[in-house]
Amino acid sequence: MSLLQSLSSHKHIWKMYWTLIFPFAGFMIGHKLDKMESKRMTTFRDKSALYGRELKPGEPPSWPY
């Protein structure tokens, strides 16, 4: 059975569950974007003028936990 035949044989599943697939896909994309933003913001942690401070040797950064 080829890949195209197997995808077309499961076409009814997409019709039945599209209301579940789209929100789940949206959640996964949002989660990935949030992780990427957190990783980007780690370059600025503990460096702000208001909350920044010198860390003691061996002290973990304030976030992410």
pLDDT (tens, 9 = 90+) of the chain, 65 residues, equals 566 666 666 777 777 888 888 899 999 999 999 999 988 988 888 787 787 778 888 888 877 65
The residue to which tokens 């035949």 are assigned: 5
The whole-number pLDDT of residue 35 equals 93
The pLDDT value recorded for residue 29 is 98
Q: Is residue 48 part of a domain?
A: no
Nearest to 35 by CA among 59, 55, 64: 64
5 lies in some domain? yes
Q: Please report whether residue 25 resides in a domain.
A: yes
Amino acid (1-letter code) at residue 12: H
Sign of CA dihedral 40, 42, 43, 48: positive
Q: Is residue 22 part of a domain?
A: yes
Which domain range does residue 36 map to? 1-41
- Is 53 within a domain? no
Taking the complete model, does pTM exceed 0.75, yes or no? no
Structural domains counted in the chain = 1
SS3 content of the chain, % helix, strand, coil (to 5): 65, 0, 35
Domain assignment of residue 50, yes or no: no
Assigned domain for 32 exists: yes
Establish if 18 belongs to a structural domain.
Answer: yes
* pLDDT at residue number 64: 67
CB 60 within 8 A of CB 46: no
